[in-house]
A and B are shown apart, each in its own frame.
Chain A
């Protein structure tokens, strides 16, 4: 009974969040800056949730987020003039999915640090390869993007946000999610229990990359100009990791909370303290890791526990 009540509670809070997001443009329709600001938060939320979808349960720390985001960006750069918006964005997601599946099935045998280093290298590899191609074959470095209005970009991000939450929830609740968790705990035991370890890992890696690709395609719509350095910015690989640490990874809400709070902080720091925002970032991370090692989630769970233990000493 208690868990069911809790589940209803969380479903209601997601619905409220959703209604707020959908109605947002009505409140702040005059300001496309604010709309893009919220879209930017949603971007980080989607990147963090999709990162945590794979890296949370398995413990494989991926730094390839920027690679898949960049693939999405280039889908927009190549096709935004010719194809309808939805198709452009889907191409970005599917291209990232394919790349991740390919890369995953080759490299997910690597464990721990080696996998992380490889994913880091992947971003650099693609960026430099693309740069070389653009300079030597096409003869230009950057490309123009046809930008739609802010509201369109905003609603696109809301749709991607809903999709990633839904997918994340389904994976968590399914036997697939249980298998992922098993892989994270003991890969050997998982394999000998009948789990096709390589396939489960590659598919999840690819699904998480799909959403990163979608996000890249959607967010680059507002850039009007892209080049490889912008598209494959390595900080976009590190941000989701930091945000997931900041928020926690046990529950679905945790990376959402982490990414939202962190990206709002980023906005405040960079606009109010443009000269030492990196310093403030570092300081924040240090304090978070020192005083709330389980992130925002840790604090919330502790509060919930305290509240619940007031009623009954069950479980």
Chain B
């Protein structure tokens, strides 16, 4: 069963086609990787799915409901949570309050198959921030700030989690921990779509990968298929 489907998504900024005619789907329970060179339209696609941007044309269906053009808060309440490429935490609030906000506002609507990880405290434990609840968010290390963003997203009890470069800027050890966390989240029944530049991570944990370039989908398949795909190699290494 597909949890999310996109048909013919177009988004232009002036003359630039950020995404053009993108079709795609995500199966329930999988980890979908989204890769492509800088400016390929990966984050734009996230913004379209999460409601930050409205597509010029095309439709997005989440669990069978057409959510095209819905406001971000509505989409969040329906069960699509996200993190940001540049960390956007509530920096002067405590770690616990950051998470509580997601819990209080995002999880209000009844979601029949929500993955309930418990209350804010339990979620902090789950992402590995136990004992740091009283800290101000801005005082955390970058790795922990990214964890906090994930915790806040999880607190909304999402069915689909969009992770925008959660591993960028982390040390190799932290990347390994982040990979563990992503797998752990999937094991709780949450479908994941992730943008990542850390190839080792994406090739190891993704079930399927979609490659974007200049706003178009140029390839799609399992990690093995993608590594052998001629177009993808050309895009990344030149012809």
Instruction: List residues of A whose CB falls within 8 A of some B CB.
Output: 175, 178-179, 181-182, 185-186, 188-197, 315
Given contacts A178-B104, A179-B101, contact A197 B52 (CB under 8 A): no
Give the distance to chain B from A6, nearest Cβ to Cβ, in Å.
16
Complex Cα spacing A182 to B101, Å = 8
Q: Could you tell me which B residues sit within 8 Å of A by CB distance?
A: 50-52, 71-73, 76-77, 81-82, 84, 88-93, 97, 100-102, 104-108, 134, 152-153, 156
Partner of A192, one of B76, B89, B90, B104: B76
B152 cross-chain contacts in A, Cβ below 8 A: 189, 193
Q: Which residue of the partner chain A has the closest CB to B99?
A: A193
CB-based contact A185/B90 at 8 Å: yes
Given contacts A182-B90, A188-B84, A315-B134, A193 and B97 within 8 Å (CB-CB): no
Classify the secondary structure of A's interface with B: helix
From A195, which residue of chain B is reached at the shortest CB distance? B105
Given contacts A192-B82, A196-B73, contact A186 B101 (CB under 8 A): no
Which residue in A181, A188, A194 is a CB contact (below 8 Å) of B108? Answer: A194
**Most interface-central of B51, B93, B107, B134 (chain A CB within 10 A):** B93
- Minimum distance in angstroms from B90 CB to a CB of chain A: 4
Whether A192 pairs with B50 at a CB distance below 8 angstroms is yes
State whether A197 touches B73 (Cβ < 8 A): yes
Q: Which residues of A contact B91 (CB under 8 A)?
A: 185
Which of B73, B77, B91, B106 has the most CB atoms of chain A within a 10 A radius of its CB? B73
> What is the CB-to-nearest-CB distance from A204 to chain B, in angstroms, rounded to a whole number?
15
Are B81's CB and A192's CB within 8 A? yes
In contact, A175 and B104 (Cβ under 8 angstroms): yes
* Least Cβ–Cβ distance between A111 and chain B, in angstroms: 15
B100 contact set on A, CB distance < 8 A: 175, 178
Which residues does chain B contribute within 8 Å of A186, judged by CB atoms? Answer: 88-90
- B214–chain A nearest beta-carbon distance, Å: 25
The 10 closest A-B CB pairs, nearest first, are A194-B106, A194-B105, A194-B76, A191-B72, A189-B88, A185-B90, A186-B88, A175-B104, A195-B105, A196-B73
Q: Given contacts A192-B76, A193-B101, could you give 10 more A-B pairs where the C-beta distance is less than 8 Å?
A: A181-B92, A182-B101, A189-B84, A191-B73, A192-B50, A192-B51, A192-B52, A192-B73, A193-B156, A194-B106
Compute how far the CA of A315 lies from the CA of B139 in the bound complex, rounded to whole angstroms: 14
A-B contact pairs, 30 of them (CB 8 A): A175-B100, A175-B104, A182-B90, A182-B93, A185-B89, A185-B93, A186-B89, A186-B90, A188-B84, A188-B88, A189-B84, A189-B88, A189-B152, A190-B90, A190-B101, A192-B72, A193-B76, A193-B101, A193-B106, A193-B153, A193-B156, A194-B76, A194-B77, A194-B102, A194-B105, A194-B107, A194-B108, A195-B105, A196-B73, A315-B134
